[in-house]
Every structure is written in C-alpha cells, then in structure tokens.
Amino acid sequence: MLQQSAESGLIDKVLHHVEAIYRDTPTVVDYDTLARELLALMRLDELAPAPPQHVNHWSQRDAIMITYGDTLLREGELPLVTLKQFLDNYADGLVTGVHILPFYPWSSDDGFAVLDYSSVNEFLGSWADIAAIAGEYDLMADLVINHCSGRSLWFENFLQGRSPGKGYFYTASPDADLSAVVRPRTSELLREVQTPEGTRHVWCTFSHDQVDLDFRNPEVLKQMVSIVRQYLDNGVRIFRLDAVAFLWKIPGTSCLNLEETHEVVRLFRTLVEHAVPGAMLITETNIPNRENLSYFGNANEAHCVYNFSLPPLLVNALVTGDCRHLKTWMMSMPPAQNGTAYFNFVASHDGIGLRPAEGLLSDEELEELVTTMRRFGGHVSYRALEDGQSKPYEINIALFDALQGTTSGPDSRGVDRFVCAHAIMLALEGIPGIYIHSLLGTRNDYERVEHSGHYRAINRHQWQYDALIEELERADSCHAQVFARIKALLALRQSQPAFHPNATQFTLHLGDALFGFWRQSMDRRQSIFCISNISREPLPLALSAINLIGDGDWVDLISGAHFHSREEMVELAPYQTVWITNATGPGLS
C-alpha cells in the first residue's frame, strides 16, 4: 500500500478510490500500481493539488441542445458539418452547448452499441469536425460505460481469448440466482457464447448486441480512462455516463446502484476535474427519483444528474390539468449544492421514462397516462419484473404529439401546451437540455419505426436540412412558430440572474390548475414568479396570492405586461405562462 505523506496529493485520492472499488473483488489488484497507471493515462501529476470545490461551472446563460450527429442531412455534406451550420446560423447565442449523441461507429441502438470508442463514425465526419463544434460550444459526449457492441473488436477478441478483450466482459452462471436483477428490458439477461475456455454466458442488460463490460478487471477501467483522456483532448467538456447505474454486478443483488458503481463515478470525477478545469460529469440514471439523486453523492460524484422525474410528471400535469403530483415532487427535491446542478429536460432521444414516476404517480394514473399517449400515436416499451411479468417502462412518442391534447382527446391548443411545458422547464432550478426535435416541433415518425423495428425511432426523425430551413422561414409553419417561441424564452432566460441553475426556488400553492414557483437570484436582487395555467380554461391569478414585495413596478418578462399593485387580478389564458419579476436585464434596472 502507498504510504500517506505530509505532501499527499492526487495520488492518495486516486489510491483511495481504487482500493474502495477493488477491495471486495476476487481479482488480485496492486492498488499502488493501478493508481499510478490511471494518472499516467490522464497525464496528471501525482501530487497535483485538489481543484476548488463547490464551484458552479454554469450560469443562467447555459442551455444544451441534444441531437444525433445525423439528425440534419444535406446531400453532399457530412452531417457534422451540417449540424455546425445549423448551430451557427440558428442557435448561436441561444444555446451554449450541444450534446451529440454517440458519434462513434456502432452496430445497433442508434449508437449505444459502440464498435470503436476511439473513432468518429466516418458517415458523420471526423475528429476535426467534432473539434470544430467543440471550439465554439460546450460539447457533451456519451461515455457508453456499461456495455459495448457484440460485434466490437473487444468482444471478438473475447470470443477468441485474445487481448484486448480477453476478460473484458461480465459472465455469470445460468444457475446463479439472478431473480433480483433490475433490468429495463424483457429480453434474456444472459447470452450463451463459445470461448477457448468453453461455453460462457455473457451479461446483457439491454440487448444481446450490447454486452456488459466487467469492471472487476482493472484493464477495463484503464481502457475507459484512456478514452476519457482522448475525448478531453478532442474538446469534450461534458461526459454523459450512459446507463452507469448498471455498471457493477454482484449476483444475488439488484445489480443496480451498487457502492462500487458510485465509487467508479467518484474516481472519474476526481480524474476529470483535475485534468480540465470546468469539465463535468452527468449521470444518466433512468431510475426512481431517490436513487437518481444519490448520484450527487456529497457533491463528489456527478456534477449534474438528469431530472428524470420531470418529463412524466410534467406531461401528466398538462394532459390532466392537475399539477398536484408535480408540485408534491418539486417540494421534495433538495436544492443542489454549489458545484452540482440538476439537468432538466422534457424530451430526449429516448421516450418518456416511467420508472422515475413510480411512487409519485399511482398505477392507475400511470395507466391513464399510457392510454392517453397511445391515443396520440405513441408506443410503450416494457421491462421485466422478478415474477416474470412485465411493466411499462417507457412511452415512445414525440413530445409535440404527446401534448396535442388532454385525457379528453386531441384539441387545438397543442402548440400552446407544448410551449408551456418548455416555459416551465426553462425556469426551473437547473441547467436546461433541449432536444432538437422539441426546438423544431417535430412530429411522430412512424415510417422510421417501421423501417427500424424499434419504438424509440418514433422520436428520432431525420430532417433534410434545406426542407427544414424552408419550414423555419415560413410564418404559417407550425415548426417555425414553435422554434420562434422557444427561442424567445431562451433569450429571456439568459439575462435573468434569478434563473441561475443554483438560484433559490420555492414552490407556490395556487391550486391544482395553476403551477407556480418562485426564483430568487443568489444576490437576492431579483425575484421571478413563474406561473403557468396548465388547464384548458382561462383562470384568474390574484397577484396578492403570490406575495409580490411592495407595490413597485413588476413586469411579465414574456408578455411585457406591467403590474403596479398587489391588488390586481390577471387572467391567464389556457397554457399561458408568466414570469413576473421586479427587475430585468443585466443591470437589474
């Protein structure tokens, strides 16, 4: 064991991590050697001092657009080049970052079965194209850490007993008690394969083409650390740890959120924040709310966690006209410590996850939500339970179609309802992530579902770039209307200190159909009351009910309306949002 010294530094911290990860494994690990190897891979000084803690690397100006590398297509042009043109011409100044979903060579799951972590898919572009985007925008990339493709070189080598790959994949006996394992799929967990050592059964949390890596082998950890260093060198500043909750396996347990998994996240945070000041980790853990929050640790794990409960609860509130569950959940959410933040989103490349709503919505309410989404053209994906039954796991639908009506059926207020969802999300404590198809108001893509055979493809439309630009420049286009209204909200958000991701937030109690909360800037100079009518009927709002301070001039940032007295009544149209503030702009005048 490495001896502690008066001049202890980074090496001691990394040593602590690797000891905690490997002390209960049957693998014989030289902790000292492994710690030094990890630092060498990251090109870090063993005695490097710790960076400042509890520092916020974000502000109210930050918003991240989420997209596939090939969502925008133009004949004769590489998709990453087309994407940068869209960012520069239509999103510059409105989003500060872009999450490009897996841009590596892949074999299935639209990128999440990685063939080669070190390469850019040649059909998308090159590392030079990635670096060009990273040079102007905060780049988020996926570290697909739990599994890789069953057709990767690593797995082919595993099957042949060669390196690199030998010992890289988790195997288990089909006779082991795996009944407690929590999974998001209904396929068989184990896949039988032949190796030089005989028949083995590899672990496949997601699909048989996505084989789980075995982090009990330190060589796997070293490979991932090497990949992180390469991504940093190519401009990646935000790492999305995909499906990280499933990373460590111990048969007889749920194999979800195990302590070793949390320690691996802590190790990656230590390495990343020492390597590049301001670099961040975001954990992608589509699990019940309490478990999701655990990935903040004590501000020593993820910088950000996905706010997975927000999409199902917000969609449910808007289609039922009842915000009670959304309000109850918000009141239960602890403020993020400085140095951490929520990552808020309403839509993503996946569907609307239902596990994060478990315990927040009743089974009957979840079933009503599922039924409503099916009526609007959505599909439902299932997960396996311990008793062999299955349960809805995810609703697959484009958010624009999900909000085209209410539990009573479709109506004419879809655009207003859709914009209301984003107005709520953009005002909440946290950093907003906006799926490109939400920015564009994209509809369900049934043809892509039929072609791919996967329900998630319904929300992964590919736009021909020139056709999209024509839509955005037509005043009567629904896509142009959505784009303009969400852009306006983003522009407003950027100059309001009360919308800092870590600014104070309190929930307001305004009944079941008015959803509201109060934000206050960290210097307490600005307050914003964010109130949305989530119902189909006009509703009165008494300004006295939201405790405006004094009788000074208050203004709704969205409509520009001014209010001079707490005694005023305001009528909110269906799905209208107001951001009522006492001060506006950079100078808070």
By C-alpha distance, which of 80, 409, 378, 367 is closest to 234? Answer: 80
Cross-strand bridge partners of residue 409: 406
3-state secondary structure of 194: strand
CA distances from 349 to 66, 370, 436 (A): 8, 18, 9
Residue whose C-alpha is closest to residue 205's, from 220, 180, 188:
188
The helix/strand/coil state of 176 is: coil
Dihedral over Cα of 79, 80, 81, 87: its sign:
positive
Q: What sign does the dihedral 203-209-213-214 (CA atoms) show?
A: positive
Known binding residue 385? Answer is: no
Assess whether 110 carries a catalytic annotation: no
Task: Tell me how far CA of residue 367 lies from CA of 73, 307, 392, 456, in angstroms.
Answer: 37, 22, 9, 19
What is the amino acid identity at position 539?
Answer: L
Q: Is 361 annotated as a binding residue?
A: no
- DSSP alpha helices (H): ranges in 192-309? 218-233, 259-275, 289-293
403: left (phi over 0), alpha (psi -120 to 50) or beta: alpha
Backbone φ and ψ of 245, nearest 5°:
-60, -20
Q: Which two tokens stand for residue 230?
A: 């390469």
User: Per the annotation, does 354 bind a ligand?
Assistant: no
- The DSSP output letter for 89 is I
Cβ-contact 207, 112 below 8 angstroms: no
C-alpha distances out from residue 370 to 289, 363, 380, 381, 418, Å: 20, 10, 7, 11, 18
CA separation, residue 488 to residues 481, 491, 522, 570 (Å): 11, 5, 24, 22
CB 559 within 8 A of CB 530: no
C-beta separation of 480 from 474 below 8 A: yes
Q: Please tell me whether 241 is known to bind a ligand.
A: yes
> Among all chains, which residue has been given the structure tokens 């506006």?
584
CA dist., res. 231 & res. 127, Å (int): 10
279 contacts: CB under 8 Å, gap ≥ 6:
232, 236, 237, 238, 239, 272, 273
456 assigned ligand-binding residue: yes
Alpha-carbon gap, residue 167 to 199, rounded angstroms: 14
3-state secondary structure of 142: strand
DSSP string, 252-266: TS--SS-HHHHHHHH
Can you say whether residue 444 is alpha, beta or left, with left for phi > 0 and alpha for psi between -120 and 50 degrees? Answer: beta
Instruction: Give CA–CA dist 291/229, Å, rounded.
Output: 29
Catalytic residue, chosen from 242, 322, 416, 445, is 242
Task: Find, among 373, 375, 318, the residue nearest to 351 by Cα.
Answer: 373
Residue 129 assigned ligand-binding role: no
* 278: nearest Cα among 52, 57, 62: 57
Q: Which residues are annotated as a binding site?
A: 109, 147, 240-242, 349-350, 456
Active-site residue list: 242
Q: Which residues are annotated as a binding site for substrate?
A: 109, 147, 240-242, 349-350, 456
